[in-house]
Chains A and B, each alone.
Chain A
Amino acid sequence: MKPSLNRKVQLALGSVILTFLVGGAISYRSTIVASESDRLVRHTHEVLERLQDLLSAMRSIESSYRGFALTGKESYLESYRSSILSAQQNEVAVGQLTMDNLKQQRQQQALERLAAQQIQFGEMAIRLRQTRGLDEAANAIRSGSGERIMDEFQGEVREMQNEELRLLAVRDKDAARRSRQTKTALFVLTLLGLLIAAIASWIVHREIYGHGLAREALRDSEERYRVLLDEIEGYAIFMMDPLGQIVTWNAGAERIKGYRADQIIGRNFSCFFPPEDIEQGRPEEILRMTAARGRHEEQGMRVRKDGSRFLASVRFTALRDAAGNLRGFSESSHDLSESKESGAKYRGLLEAAPDAMVVVNQTGEIVLLNLQAEKLFGYHRDELIRQKVKNIIPEGFAERLIADGTRTAAEALAQQIGTGIELTGRRKDGSEFPIEIMLSPLSNSEGILVTAAIRDITERKRSEYLLVRTAAELKRSNDELQQFAYVASHDLQEPLRMVASYTQLLAQRYQGRLDSDADEFIAFVTDGCNRMQGLIQDLLTYSRAGTNERELREISCEHALKDALANLRATIKESGAVVTHDSLPTITTDQTQLSQVFQNLVGNAIKYRSADAPRIHVSVAKNGGKEQIFSVRDNGLGIDPQYFERIFILFQRLHGRVEFKGTGIGLAICKKIVERLGGRIWVESQPKEGSTFYFALPKTEER
C-alpha cells in the first residue's frame, strides 16, 4: 500500500525537525568548544603576564641588592624585600597556572631554583656591604655570579613564554579548524533541511492537487451514476471506499437490503453478511480478492436490515484512478429468490416438476421450494423458507451436505448426486412417511446450493411390502406343492402298489378257480389301479415340469425336435406318420423342456389322427418380432374352437378313454413349460381340418 498524504507530510516534517536538531547540536558543541578556546587563550596570556611580572621582580631584586651594595641606602633594601615578595607571588601563580603541563612545571622548578640562587647571592652581597663594606660587596658583584643567574633566569622565562605561545598557536589553529567544520556542517544541514522541506512541500502540493482532481472526477461520475442507478430497482448498486465503507446507495439497494441511504452510508458493507461469514472474515476476503483480480462474482447468503436472509448474486468491481491507485469498490447484487428473470424461470421449472422440489443451502436452510413440496409436507411456503430442512427431513439430508474428516463438502455432495436416497419425511402435523430424494447441485460458482427432488414413496413401499409378502407366500405354497409331489410319489403309490400287486397275484394264482364274476371284478380292480398309477405319474411329471432350474443355454431347436422324434420313433413307425420341419433356429432355452413340448405336440398330432396317414409339419414363423413362434401343424381330427381353452387344462379330455388312451396331461405340461420359459401357447383348428399348435418363446436380447 502507498503511504497516505498525512503520512508523507509527517515524514517530511519529521525529517526537517531532525535536520535542525542535528544542526543545533553541532552549534551548541561548537559554542562550548569556542568558549574553551577563549579560556585557554586567557590562560596563556595570564601565564605570559605572570612570567613577565616574575622576570621584572627578579630584575628589580638584582638592581636592588646592587644598589644597596654600591650605596648602602636603606631604600634599596626595602625595594629588594618587596621585589622578593612580588617574585614569590608570581612564582606561585605560574606554578599553579602550569599545573597541567609537565614541561612548564619542570621549567618553573628551574625558575624557582634560579630565583633562590639569586636571592641567596643578593643576601650575601647585602651582608658583605653591611659587614665588610663597599669594596668587598662590589668585588662580589663584579665576580658576575648574580648577573649570570639573571641571564639564565631570563632565558628560562623566555623559553616558558615561547612554550605558552606555541601552545596558544596550536590551540588557535585547532579552534579555527573546529570553527570551519562547524560552519560547513551547519551549512550542509541547512541545505538538507531546505531540500527536504522543498521536497515535502512539492509532494504535499502534488497530492493535494491530484487528490482534488480525483475527487472531482469521482464526484462527477458519482453524480452520473446516482441518476442512472436510482432508476434501477432490481439491483442493489453501491460504492465503497477501499476499506468497505459504503459511500453511495441506490434505490434498488434500499429495496433489496432494507436500509435507507442515510442509515447505511458510512457503515461497513460487512453488515450484509451472515454472522458466520463475518466470523470467517469473508467480507475482507472478498475485498482482497476483488482488489487483486479487479472483480469478483459469487452467489451467497446475505442479510437484510430486518435480519432475514436471502440468496444473492453479487458482483464486486475494484475502482482505480488513472495512476492505478485503489479508490474503492462497487457492488451490484440482486436477490436470486425474487429475481424477475432467471429466478422466475427457475421457479417456473421447479413448479413444473412432478416431484416436490426443495433447494437447500449448505447450512441446511431451505432457500426455495415448489407447490408440490408445500402440499407434500403440509406447510405454507412462508413457513419453510429460511427454515432448517431438518424440520421436514429429520435425518439423512442435512448431514449429507456437510464435509466430514475425509471429504470436503463438495466431494460429499458429489457422492450423493444422481442416486436415490430413501429417507423419512415429516409433515407439519408430525406424521412421518417414506420418501426418496435425488440431489443435484444448483448451477452455482461455489456449488453451495443443492436441489432435492423429493418423492413420496408410501405407495411404493406398501407395494414392495406386499410384493415381498406375496413372494414369501408363493414360495411357501410352492414348497408345499413340491412336498405334495413327493408325498404323492411315495406315500400314495405305496398302498396303490399293494392293491395292484396283490390283485395281480390273486389273478395269477386263482384264475379260473373263482367264478367269472370274480375274474371280471379283479380285472376292474387291476384296471383302476393302473389308471390311478398313470394319473399319479402324470401328476408328478406335471408338478416337476418347468421346475428344474436348469441353466438356460443356447441350443439348436432342431436338436430338441430330433430328441423328441427319437422318443416317438415307435409311435411314428406304427402310425406311418410323416414328420417334416423347416430349418429351426438356435435359441437360448432349456433343451430338455423344449424337446418335451415337441414330443407332446407331435405325439398328440399322431394320436388324434384322422383316417389319413398323419402328416405333421413343424415350422417357425418369420415375423415373430420379439418372440420366436413355433408351430406344429397336422392333418388330424381337428378341435372345435369352443374347446381351445379347455384342452390345456390338467386332466381335461375331449375324448373317452376307450377311443384314446391318456390322462389329459400332455398339453397341460406343454402350457406349463412354455409359460415357465416366458412364452405362451395356443391352437388354431377346425374339426376335421387338422390343427396347428403354436407356441411362442421370448427371443433373447441381441448381444
Chain B
Amino acid sequence: MELIGSNAAAIHVLLVEDSPGDVRLTKEAFKDAKVHVNLHVAADGTAAIAFLERHGKHSNAPRPDLILLDLNLPKKAGREVLAEIKESPTLRSIPVVILTTSAAEADILQSYQLHANCYITKPVGLDGFLKVVRSIDDFWLSVVKLPRESHS
C-alpha cells in the first residue's frame, strides 16, 4: 500500500490495478492534478475489498472518494469487486470508474449493469493515457460534487 501525498484534507482515490506500469503511469498523471490526490493502490480484488472494509492492516484506511477499478485482476475479478461495492449500503455511494484495456461490448454492458459510474478503455499511447487521467481529475475530482460521508 502506497500513499501519495499526505494532506489529510486531500481527496482519496483507490486505484485497483495489478500492473505496476499502469500504477506508475497513473501516479505520474496525477502529479499534475489540480486537486491534491491521495492515491491508494490495491493490487488485486481481495486487497481492494479489505481496504474498503478496513480489514486487518487497513483498519485505519480512509474511505475513498473515488475508485479506479481495472477489470482483469488476480484473485478477485474487477466485476466481482464492483458487484460487492454496489451491493454494500455503505460503499455504493462511492463513484466507481472502470479503467481497463478491454473494449469488449460485453464487458462494457456488464459493468454498467453492475452500476459502474463510468467505463473508460485505457488508451494505447502515453498521451492518450495521460489525457484520460487528466479528464478523470477534471471531471470526477473538480466538476462533480462527491458525497462527503464520514461515517465509519
- Residues of A whose CB lies within 8 Å of any CB of B are 486, 489-490, 493-494, 496-498, 500-502, 504-505, 508, 530, 533
CB–CB A489/B101 < 8 A:
yes
CB–CB B21/A504 < 8 A:
no
CB–CB B28/A497 < 8 A:
no
Instruction: Say whether B19 faces chain A, with CB atoms less than 8 Å apart.
Output: yes
A497 partner residues in chain B, CB cutoff 8 A = 21-22, 101, 122, 124
A505 to B31, CA, bound (A): 14
CB–CB B101/A505 < 8 A:
no
What are 30 inter-chain pairs, A to B, with CB distance below 8 A?
A489-B101, A489-B103, A490-B101, A490-B102, A493-B124, A494-B19, A497-B21, A497-B22, A497-B101, A497-B122, A497-B124, A498-B19, A498-B22, A500-B124, A500-B125, A500-B126, A501-B21, A501-B25, A501-B125, A501-B126, A502-B21, A502-B126, A504-B125, A504-B126, A504-B127, A505-B25, A505-B28, A505-B126, A508-B126, A530-B125
A533 to B102, CA, bound (A): 14
Kindly name the residue among A500, A501, A533 whose own CB sees the greatest number of chain B CB atoms within 10 A: A501
Instruction: Say whether B38 faces chain A, with CB atoms less than 8 Å apart.
Output: no
Q: Which residue of B lies closest to A501 (CB)?
A: B126
A530 partner residues in chain B, CB cutoff 8 A = 124-125
A504-B126, A505-B126 known; A486-B104 Cβ under 8 A: yes
B125 partner residues in chain A, CB cutoff 8 A = 500-501, 504, 530
Instruction: Say whether B111 faces chain A, with CB atoms less than 8 Å apart.
Output: no
- Give B84-104 interface residues, CB cut-off 8 Å to A: 101-104
CB–CB A494/B101 < 8 A:
yes
A502 to B19, CA, bound (A): 13
Q: Which residue of A lies closest to B24 (CB)?
A: A502
CB–CB B102/A489 < 8 A:
yes
A494 partner residues in chain B, CB cutoff 8 A = 19, 101
Instruction: Say whether B140 faces chain A, with CB atoms less than 8 Å apart.
Output: no
Q: Which residue of B lies closest to A502 (CB)?
A: B21
Interface of A is mostly: helix
**Cβ-defined partner of A498 (8 Å) among B21, B72, B103:** B21
A489 partner residues in chain B, CB cutoff 8 A = 101-104
A489 to B104, CA, bound (A): 9
Q: How far is the CB of A431 from chain B (nearest CB, A)?
A: 52
B25 partner residues in chain A, CB cutoff 8 A = 501, 505
A502 to B129, CA, bound (A): 11
Q: Which residue of A lies closest to B25 (CB)?
A: A501
A493 partner residues in chain B, CB cutoff 8 A = 101, 124
Q: How far is the CB of A663 from chain B (nearest CB, A)?
A: 15
- Give B19-67 interface residues, CB cut-off 8 Å to A: 19, 21-22, 25, 28
A501 to B126, CA, bound (A): 4
Kindly name the residue among A486, A496, A497, A533 whose own CB sees the greatest number of chain B CB atoms within 10 A: A497
Q: Which 8 A-B pairs have the closest CB atoms?
A: A504-B126, A498-B21, A501-B126, A533-B124, A493-B101, A490-B101, A505-B126, A490-B72
- Give B70-129 interface residues, CB cut-off 8 Å to A: 72, 101-104, 122, 124-127, 129
Q: How far is the CB of B67 from chain A (nearest CB, A)?
A: 20
A508 partner residues in chain B, CB cutoff 8 A = 126
A505 to B129, CA, bound (A): 11
A490 to B72, CA, bound (A): 8
A504 partner residues in chain B, CB cutoff 8 A = 125-127
A533 partner residues in chain B, CB cutoff 8 A = 124
Q: How far is the CB of B103 from chain A (nearest CB, A)?
A: 7
A490-B72, A493-B124 known; A501-B129 Cβ under 8 A: yes
A490 to B100, CA, bound (A): 9
18 additional contacts (CB under 8 A) given A494-B101, A500-B125: A489-B103, A490-B102, A493-B101, A493-B124, A496-B124, A497-B21, A497-B101, A498-B21, A498-B22, A501-B21, A501-B25, A501-B125, A502-B21, A504-B125, A505-B126, A530-B124, A530-B125, A533-B124
Q: Which residue of A lies closest to B18 (CB)?
A: A494
A498 to B22, CA, bound (A): 8
A502 partner residues in chain B, CB cutoff 8 A = 21, 126
Q: Which residue of B lies closest to A496 (CB)?
A: B124
Q: How far is the CB of B129 from chain A (nearest CB, A)?
A: 6
Q: How far is the CB of A118 from chain B (nearest CB, A)?
A: 161
Q: How far is the CB of A653 from chain B (nearest CB, A)?
A: 22
B122 partner residues in chain A, CB cutoff 8 A = 497
Q: How far is the CB of A524 from chain B (nearest CB, A)?
A: 16
A489 to B25, CA, bound (A): 20
B102 partner residues in chain A, CB cutoff 8 A = 489-490
A501 partner residues in chain B, CB cutoff 8 A = 21, 25, 125-126, 129
A498 partner residues in chain B, CB cutoff 8 A = 19, 21-22
A500 partner residues in chain B, CB cutoff 8 A = 124-126
A496 to B103, CA, bound (A): 16
Kindly name the residue among B103, B122, B124, B129 whose own CB sees the greatest number of chain A CB atoms within 10 A: B124
Q: Which residue of A lies closest to B127 (CB)?
A: A504
A500 to B125, CA, bound (A): 6
A498 to B19, CA, bound (A): 9
A221 to B60, CA, bound (A): 128
Kindly name the residue among B19, B102, B126 whose own CB sees the greatest number of chain A CB atoms within 10 A: B126
A491 to B15, CA, bound (A): 20
B21 partner residues in chain A, CB cutoff 8 A = 497-498, 501-502
Q: How far is the CB of A600 from chain B (nearest CB, A)?
A: 20
Q: Which residue of B lies closest to A536 (CB)?
A: B124
Q: How far is the CB of A488 from chain B (nearest CB, A)?
A: 11
A496 partner residues in chain B, CB cutoff 8 A = 124
A486 partner residues in chain B, CB cutoff 8 A = 104
Q: Which residue of A lies closest to B105 (CB)?
A: A548
A225 to B4, CA, bound (A): 127
Q: Which residue of A lies closest to B19 (CB)?
A: A494
A19 to B72, CA, bound (A): 126
B127 partner residues in chain A, CB cutoff 8 A = 504
A490 to B102, CA, bound (A): 6
B22 partner residues in chain A, CB cutoff 8 A = 497-498
A508 to B29, CA, bound (A): 14
Q: Which residue of B lies closest to A506 (CB)?
A: B126
Q: How far is the CB of A668 from chain B (nearest CB, A)?
A: 20
B129 partner residues in chain A, CB cutoff 8 A = 501
Q: How far is the CB of A546 from chain B (nearest CB, A)?
A: 15
Q: How far is the CB of A491 from chain B (nearest CB, A)?
A: 8
B103 partner residues in chain A, CB cutoff 8 A = 489
Q: How far is the CB of B42 from chain A (nearest CB, A)?
A: 18
Q: How far is the CB of A650 from chain B (nearest CB, A)?
A: 20
A504 to B123, CA, bound (A): 13
Q: How far is the CB of A479 from chain B (nearest CB, A)?
A: 15
Q: How far is the CB of B142 from chain A (nearest CB, A)?
A: 24
Q: Mark contacts of B122-147 with chain A using CB atoms, 8 A cut-off: 1 yes-contact digit, 0 otherwise.
A: 10111101000000000000000000
Q: Which residue of A lies closest to B128 (CB)?
A: A501
A508 to B102, CA, bound (A): 27
Q: How far is the CB of B1 from chain A (nearest CB, A)?
A: 22
A199 to B27, CA, bound (A): 141
Q: Which residue of B lies closest to A493 (CB)?
A: B101
Q: How far is the CB of B100 from chain A (nearest CB, A)?
A: 8
A494 to B100, CA, bound (A): 10
A489 to B124, CA, bound (A): 12
Q: How far is the CB of A409 from chain B (nearest CB, A)?
A: 58
Q: How far is the CB of B109 from chain A (nearest CB, A)?
A: 13
A435 to B21, CA, bound (A): 66
